[in-house]
Every structure is written in structure tokens, then in C-alpha cells.
Amino acid sequence: MTEHTLTVAGVAVDTRHWIGGRRVASTETFTDVSPIDGGTIGEISRGTAPEAAAAVAAAKAAFPAWAATSRAERARILHAIADGVEKRIEELSIVETTDNGALLRSHRRGVMPRVAHNFRFFADWLLQLEHEDFETRGHTNHVSWDPAGPSVLITPWNAPLMLATWKVAPALAAGNTVVLKPAEWSPLTASLLADIAAEAGLPAGVLNVVQGYGSEIGDALTSHPDVRRISFTGSVPTARRIAESAAANLTPLSLELGGKSPLLVFADADLDLAVDLAVEQYDNAGQVCLAATRFLVEESVAEEFTRRFVEKASTLTQGDPRHETTDIGPNIHPRQLEKIDAFVQRALAAGARAVIGGHRKDTQYYAPTLLTDVAQDSEIVQEEVFGPVLTLQTFSTEDEAVRLANDTRFGLAATLATGDPERAERVTAQLVAGTVWVNCFFVRDLQAPFGGSRHSGVGREGGTWSFDFYCDVKNTVTAPNGWKNHG
């Protein structure tokens, strides 16, 4: 081991940046802390403007050759990266659980296999990407997707590697080169991804990984004139800052932001199913942007729904995420825990009632919470908490349910529980959301469009929508009989 290598649960992780196919250290570092026990994992290279400039320069230098690489070869390398991920699922899982506190069993069974699938899906989609030629007054129109150039990808801490590769895979498949900036609270698996990509044969400079604070290296990346695409997942305030940085260069943006999504439960719903969907919102300690944190329940079944919810929620086990029996782990950071508790205490002071929870369990864990007696215009209903905190309101008519569901500045997702297919069709047509689930939750297909409305984001990614963003889409129009003088 070297001074720049950590051993995390027996796995060696390099703490330096990955720029131009080699490891680069910074003179300054930041401390990475495990949310499991608050202990220090290690010191991570803290990049600033020079590292940002070096990473973009490396991506720019590597771009022509990678853009000219055949689709088949790009796809082959992405499949090789997926192979590398699958070989290291156990290592990636334990490192990410240590780093961000999400359940180890979820990483092993779902999250890390999805990381590999991200690469395989976009590799395969690339090979079938086409638009049928069409005619205009005898002229032939041919649509193509040209690689755009160096892309900056800024990713969050709640599902670090899965959400990073949701962006990295299509960007690379499109023929772009990448500078990945992971969240400073969970940087470790991005470093391992750099190793895996290099071992898979990805050319130097095609993927670069830089670590640090958004206010230091992030601003330097998003304002760089050589960057051709920026994709960001995170908070609305940070998105505004990124948009301001990108504006000077008119750099296209894809922004997947926060949510305050509703779960609408009608009296004709299967209540057991509705309760299962409701309790599922505590997944990842509530740190899921898509979570349906606002329960809107028809008055006639609200009491019974609440009783069943409390009964089922009481069976959840909160504790060490490395244990197989744990259902809810810690929140990511003491600062996040303080933010969650502040939301709850202000709500209680304003008259809300905690049916369950309403307090922190210790310095790392927040008790699963359900608040009632909350006003529609209250902070707890209107603002994203990003913790295991849910609210419950009632409605009496379908129109009222839709009005309450749409009455926030967000529009990321919505979930609907009903036994009436005609009602489902009526209601979903009126909901403002990028994704709507009916009698299910978190069913995601990579070929579907993903993104939010209103303050929940700008743009859509997934399937062809990802290539539309990461590429310059070109239409070539050819005249008929234009080759008379050809040899």
C-alpha cells in the first residue's frame, strides 16, 4: 500500500484523481467519513481549478480518437467494463456501504448489478440506434447522432456508483469523453470505477475522475469553455449555480433535481398494497429523490391506512447497514441529520403530530417518521427533506387529490394506488410528474425517459433520449439524382 491508498473493509482504494490515464494527487485533501459510525475513512485528494483544467484538457485531447472509434468497438469496451464491475460486485458493495451507509444487501443484489447493466444497456442501445430515413419532395433525410465532446458529470451521494454510471455509460457510448465529479461525501467507488475502466481497455483520457468540493472544482468544471455537455443530479440551489456557470458558454444541461412526490391512495385501492408502497418510501433512509414522501389518502380509509402503516413500519429494523436483517441504515452525514431534524422540529412546533418517530435516534440515525396535521402550505409539505420523514394528508374528492398532488414547485414523480383503471387513467393524465407509478413503485426501465418537471429538473435521459442529449443530432438532406457527374 502507498500513502495514497486506503484499505476499506479489505479493499484497496486509491485516493487520488484519475486524469489522462494516470493517478494525480492534490496538495490538499478532504476527510471522508463513514455514516455507519462517524469514523474517518481517510483523506481524499481535494481538487481545485488546476485539476479541473487538467481533466478537461485530457478529455479534450482524447475526444477525437474516441469519437472516431466505431460503435462496435465502443460497445465492446463498455461490455468489458460491465464484466469488470460484475467481477468486483462484493468489493464495490462493501466499499459503497462503508462510504454512504446504504444497505449492503441492496448493493449486492440490486445496486451493483444495475451498475453493470447500465453499461450493457447503453452499449447495446448504441448498436441499434437509428432513425428511419424519410423523404421530403424526393429528397432523403438521414438522422445521425454525432459525439458532442467532453462532458462533465456531477453525481450525488445517495446512490453514488449507480447514478454515476447512469450518466457515464451513455456519455461514453455516444462517443463523448467524460470528467466525473462524485459527491465529496461518497467518492470511493468512483475511484474504483476508474481502475475498472482502465483494466477494460478504455483509452487514457476518455474517463477522468476528479474529487473535491462543488464550490472549488465543480465551478471550475461547469464554467470551462471546452466542456460540451453538463449532466447534474442534486439540489435545486446547486443546479442554479451550475446553470449560471454554463450560461456563458451556452453549454447544454441535463438536470435531475429534487422531489416532493405524492402517494395518492383512493378508497378503492388494495390497502395492503398501498401500505406496502408507503412503507417502501423509507428505503435508503429516505434518501431517494423519487420517494413519495407526501401521502394523500381518501378520508374514508385514512384511519385504517394509518393503522396498517404504523403496524408494518414498526417491523422495520434500523441499524448497521452491513447486517443482513437491517431495513433502514444511517443518514449520510451529521449535517444531513441535523437538517432532517430541523425540518421535523419546526413542523412539530407549527402544530404537526408525529404518529411515529419525530426524533433522531443518535448521531447517525433518524427514526422513521410520519407526520399528520400538516398544512398544505407548510414547509414540511412543500420542501424536500431527504430523510425518513413522511407526511399524511386526506382528501375527499378526486379533484382535491389531484390539486394537492400538484401543489408544490416540484414534479419528479407520483405514485397512485387505486382499483379503478378508469380513475387511474384520469388522474395520471392530470399529474405533473416525469414518472407516474400505478399500483407499483420504483419500476425503472433504462429505455424509458427519466427526468422531472418544474423545479425537479430540465431534460430527459434514458434510451434514445440520452443519446439526444449527449450527441449533436444531425439531419442530412440529399437531393435526388445528385450524382450525375460522379466518376
- Give catalytic residue positions: 256, 289
β 262-265/294-298 pair status:
parallel
Q: Which of 332, 284, 276 is nearest to 103 (CA)?
A: 284
Amino acid at the residue 64: P
Count of helix runs (H) and strand runs (E) in the chain = 16, 22
Q: Cα–Cα distance between 436 and 427 in angstroms, integer?
A: 10
Q: How far is it, in rounded angstroms, from Cα 79 to Cα 119? A: 6
317: three-class secondary structure by DSSP: coil
Buried b (16+ CB within 10 A) or exposed e, 233-272: bbbeebbebbbebbeeeebbbbbbbbbbbbbbbbbebebe
| Cβ count within 10 A of residue 441 | 19
Between the alpha carbon of residue 336 and those of residues 99, 126, 175, 280, the distances in Å are: 15, 39, 37, 21
CB 13 within 8 A of CB 97: no
| DSSP, residue by residue, 66-117 | HHHS-HHHHHHHHHHHHHHHHHTHHHHHHHHHHHH---HHHIIIIIHHHHHH
